Amino acid sequence: MKALVCTAAALLVLASSNFAGAQTGISGAVVDAKTRGAKPFDTFGFRWTFATHGCHDFRFAPVSGVSAGSVVTASFSELRIQEQTPVMGLASFDVHNIVPDDGGGVTVRFCIGWDSDLFSGMRFTVSNQ
């Protein structure tokens, strides 16, 4: 499996035309939202702290401003209990899927590779155009 790595100063939106990624097998177009005159994104965030281990599917109750068209991203890590700040521990933390829906819900599939509960946190960013 090949990985696609993109870095850019501008926000990039992937569309489904005229880019042939011969080396990656991915096709689409890369469009800079600033140069095409797009409306600015409405962006906000929320966070969730919890203690668990293993793999889970979790659906958040409706979050105001979320729809199926929202772009939702997450960062996920172990937290220091007192400060509630991220720490790089020995366990692996993986987010497999993030699915927003028209009811305002956000479903997340995630795994913590550890044999006992760890104090953890997810920080979400939601963007709407």
Q: Which range of residues forms the domain containing residue 2?
A: 1-38
pTM of the model: 0.66
Higher pLDDT, 10 or 33: 33
Q: What is the mean pLDDT of residues 113-124?
A: 95
Look at residues 47, 56, 44 and name the one whose alpha carbon lies nearest to residue 108. Answer: 56
Mark whether 10 and 64 lie in a shared domain. no
Q: What's the CATH number where 94 sits?
A: 2.60.40
Mark whether 88 and 108 lie in a shared domain. yes
Q: What is the mean pLDDT of residues 31-49?
A: 66
Mark whether 103 and 63 lie in a shared domain. yes
Mark whether 13 and 52 lie in a shared domain. no
Side by side, the strands of the sheet bearing 71-79 are 42-52, 118-128, 71-79, 86-87
Tally of domains in the chain:
2
